[in-house]
Structure 1
Amino acid sequence: MTQMNTEEPGVSAAVELRAVRKTFGEVSAVDGVDLEIGDGEFFAMLGPSGSGKTTVLRMIAGFETPTSGSIRLGGREVTKLPPFERDVNTVFQDYALFPHMNVLANVEYGLKVKKVPKAERRERALEALASVRLEGFETRRPGQLSGGQRQRVALARALVNRPKVLLLDEPLGALDLKLREEMQVELKAIQREVGITFLFVTHDQEEALTMADRVAVFNAGRIEQVGTPADVYEQPATAFVAGFVGTSNLIEGEAAQSILGRPGVYSVRPEKLRVDTDLDAELPEDEHSATGTVAEVVYAGAATRFVVDLDAGGRLVALQQNLQSSSMDVLKLREARVRLAWRREHEFAIAGPT
């Protein structure tokens, strides 16, 4: 199981978890998590519902207390400190904006509670709004804003406190697809500009891969793998990661022995597979191949997914860009005999021989 790279000697991590566990009655929500997040890093915690990622975020924020283990922020022990004594702020999915206040008042509110002088809080609020590109929106109320604009107000309200770590609990979940994709790019740009550590919780693999410097994949209260988006996608450490981050394309059992000439469990990503209708064409020496029957064809505009039942057993999904073919062309391949081919360097071992 892959864990985080060690920080440079003498440099404290922005967030550090050691053997953190959280139980609710007899249910173990988080089961022995070790994690370090670097200063200024955009870090994503990715996993399905119930995997423990949100519980970890809530323990970092101080909304939950670990059953055991320790949490440090910037080298400071905070495991039992209340939320207001931690140098973090949280942005939630519902944004929690005050509907009766305008944008500027919403952003200033936290500073007002802390009794920051009026002139200073006005200056800091305007600066925070500028950082999320909302100059000129100060007098509008939340009901007059789009979903993306409300998301940025919530972000500005958190940034105005200048936290060491900003926690984001699926903040894009309520947005439609197009706006969510736009905000993914914007959030990453904002994080780079302000230089604050962002800890982002999501169940959306595309969000994690698009925005994060590194990703922790959660499953059943544990971390399965930590790495860069490329590492997690291209070299998954477990079958769960291979299936959750992308499409699960596993070659195992007798199929592995027949196709690859060795036992074990291996995976190859759909976009690495080539679909050939000529089963007898000569293959380069650096490629493996498997014959089968196309069980389903899914045309998705820019690309087509081919679901192929292998003669050797098992099923693989191939993804092919529609550079020249039309929907009618690819749909004709349903139930066709094909050969899938891929370069050997694109297959990776999930588990060795048992």
Structure 2
Amino acid sequence: MIGATPAIRLTGLTKTFGTVNAVDRVDLDIAEGEFFSMLGPSGSGKTTVLRLIAGFEQPSAGTIELFGRDVSGRAPFDRDVNTVFQDYALFPHMSVLDNVAYGLRVRGVAKKARHALAQEALEKVRLGEYGARKPAQLSGGQRQRVALARATVVQPKALLLDEPLGALDLKLREQMQVELKEIQRDLGITFIFVTHDQEEALTLSDRIAVFNNGRIEQLGSPAEIYERPSSPFVAAFVGTSNLFDNAVSARLLGRSGTHSVRPEKMVVSRIGSSASTAVTDRTAVGTLAEVIYVGSGTRLIIDLDAGIRVTALEQNDAHRVDIDQRGARVHVGWHDRDVVALA
């Protein structure tokens, strides 16, 4: 259950490397029991923030509080958190059970007790029958779950995950995303997840912080981040957006400023086609430049006469209007409610 005292509170957190501000005055509260993701491109500061929380780096300024306790200057072993890395770092000569029990062994827990706790942790990640195996006998997804069991068996108050699914292939990564969310719900502890994969962040998170140049560009739920991006950077980085600058906005929208419309919000119809088309608030005319089949949908790239290239995404269902001829003249429509003003 989410409590009143945040699991993690960052206040004015700053980390400099030479003249570079890798983390620039970040203020952030993460609630107890929350699945929280830090999303951003390489060099945006997200991994440095995670390392600061873990204690692997010391802040240049600001404070880090864990459950109301200032740990800014404390060593990693003196913080009630644990970390799972992309490299699982399992001991190849140990059994799965002994790998999971290793942290308890270091803490001086007796063999019988630590094996019982390790077995319980394996049951929680659905690997209860794999304790006698060696890591080399497991799949990538199974090794990931062993790493999770090892990190959680010591009962940390928060678990830090640094792109833990990055080494998996696409199908296994998607499967592990679902399992990871289920594991977090079962354990009920705070998960802080670092990723550069926006779809992964949208799938897993209760809330997302989008990082850019060492700062949080936007903070919100997955739906808020995707449906109402606050800046051109967020609109372009999280999913795909059609960005209209001030001049294009004036011509197509009748308003000033920078705006975005998601591709799936756009409706395309061939000029002169007898097929019925949806009525939209705004319409522009253009030429179909490219048609890209992506399985569940078809991506249409259109050069508008207004001087901008846009992307529309149509679902491949029975109602799809068949537009697949490059060079075709088309109408592109959208509703005013789907236009997002960007700062």
Q: When the two structures are superposed, what TM-score results if normalisation uses the length of structure 1?
A: 0.93
* AA partner of residue 306 (structure 1): L
Q: Equivalents in 1 of 2:122, 2:10: separation in Å? A: 32
In the alignment, is the contact (CA less than 8 A) between 1:214 and 1:228 conserved in 2?
Answer: yes
Q: Equivalents in 2 of 1:146, 1:302: separation in Å? A: 29
Q: Shift of the alpha carbon at 1:282?
A: 8.4
In the TM superposition, 1:255-270 aligns within 5 A as 255-270=248-263
Q: Equivalents in 2 of 1:218, 1:276: separation in Å? A: 37
* AA partner of residue 328 (structure 2): A
Q: How many positions carry a matched residue from both structures?
A: 340
Q: What residue in structure 2 maps to residue 164 of structure 1?
A: 157
Q: What residue in structure 1 maps to residue 282 of structure 2?
A: 288
Q: Equivalents in 1 of 2:127, 2:222: separation in Å? A: 30
Q: Equivalents in 2 of 1:39, 1:278: separation in Å? A: 54
Q: Deviations over 1:154-186 (max 9, x none)?
A: 000001010000000000000000000000000
Q: Deviations over 1:186-210 (max 9, x none)?
A: 0000101110100000000010000
Q: Shift of the alpha carbon at 1:70?
A: 0.3
Q: Within the alignment, does 1:349 sit opposite 2:341 as a pair?
A: yes
In the alignment, is the contact (CA less than 8 A) between 1:52 and 1:218 conserved in 2?
Answer: yes
CA RMSD of aligned residues (A): 1.8
Q: Which residue of 115, 124, 147 corresponds with 2:117? A: 124
In the TM superposition, 1:141-220 aligns within 5 A as 141-220=134-213
Q: Describe the shift of the 1:130–1:248 C-alpha distance in structure 2 as closer, same or farther (beyond 3 A).
A: same
Q: Shift of the alpha carbon at 1:331?
A: 3.2
Q: What residue in structure 2 maps to residue 309 of structure 1?
A: 303
In the alignment, is the contact (CA less than 8 A) between 1:165 and 1:198 conserved in 2?
Answer: yes
In the alignment, is the contact (CA less than 8 A) between 1:57 and 1:167 conserved in 2?
Answer: yes
Unaligned ranges ≥5, structure 1 = 1-6
Unaligned ranges ≥5, structure 2 = none
Q: Shift of the alpha carbon at 1:342?
A: 1.2
Q: Equivalents in 2 of 1:79, 1:314: separation in Å? A: 49
Q: What residue in structure 1 maps to residue 269 of structure 2?
A: 276
Q: Which residue of 229, 236, 245 corresponds with 2:229? A: 236
Q: Shift of the alpha carbon at 1:12?
A: 1.0
Q: Describe the shift of the 1:278–1:41 C-alpha distance in structure 2 as closer, same or farther (beyond 3 A).
A: same
Q: Shift of the alpha carbon at 1:325?
A: 8.3
Q: Shift of the alpha carbon at 1:124?
A: 1.1
Q: Equivalents in 1 of 2:116, 2:282: separation in Å? A: 62
Q: Shift of the alpha carbon at 1:330?
A: 4.3
Aligned with 1:335: secondary structure?
coil
Q: Describe the shift of the 1:80–1:325 C-alpha distance in structure 2 as closer, same or farther (beyond 3 A).
A: same
Q: Describe the shift of the 1:263–1:279 C-alpha distance in structure 2 as closer, same or farther (beyond 3 A).
A: farther
Q: Equivalents in 2 of 1:188, 1:282: separation in Å? A: 40
Q: Equivalents in 1 of 2:27, 2:145: separation in Å? A: 31
Q: What residue in structure 1 maps to residue 55 of structure 2?
A: 62
In the alignment, is the contact (CA less than 8 A) between 1:299 and 1:330 conserved in 2?
Answer: no
Q: Within the alignment, does 1:335 sit opposite 2:323 as a pair?
A: no
In the alignment, is the contact (CA less than 8 A) between 1:299 and 1:331 conserved in 2?
Answer: no
Q: What residue in structure 1 maps to residue 103 of structure 2?
A: 110
Q: What residue in structure 2 maps to residue 4 of structure 1?
A: none
Q: Shift of the alpha carbon at 1:283?
A: 6.9
Q: When the two structures are superposed, what TM-score results if normalisation uses the length of structure 2?
A: 0.95
* AA partner of residue 268 (structure 2): V
In the alignment, is the contact (CA less than 8 A) between 1:279 and 1:339 conserved in 2?
Answer: no
Q: Equivalents in 2 of 1:310, 1:255: separation in Å? A: 11
Q: Equivalents in 1 of 2:334, 2:319: separation in Å? A: 21
Q: Equivalents in 2 of 1:224, 1:314: separation in Å? A: 26
Q: Shift of the alpha carbon at 1:253?
A: 2.5
Q: Which residue of 308, 312, 318 corresponds with 1:318? A: 312
Higher mean alpha-carbon deviation, 74-83 vs 110-119, is at: 110-119
Q: Equivalents in 2 of 1:65, 1:246: separation in Å? A: 33
Aligned with 1:140: secondary structure?
coil
In the alignment, is the contact (CA less than 8 A) between 1:279 and 1:291 conserved in 2?
Answer: no
Q: Equivalents in 1 of 2:337, 2:324: separation in Å? A: 30
In the alignment, is the contact (CA less than 8 A) between 1:215 and 1:229 conserved in 2?
Answer: yes
Q: Equivalents in 1 of 2:233, 2:296: separation in Å? A: 27
Q: Equivalents in 1 of 2:244, 2:287: separation in Å? A: 16
Q: What residue in structure 1 maps to residue 42 of structure 2?
A: 49
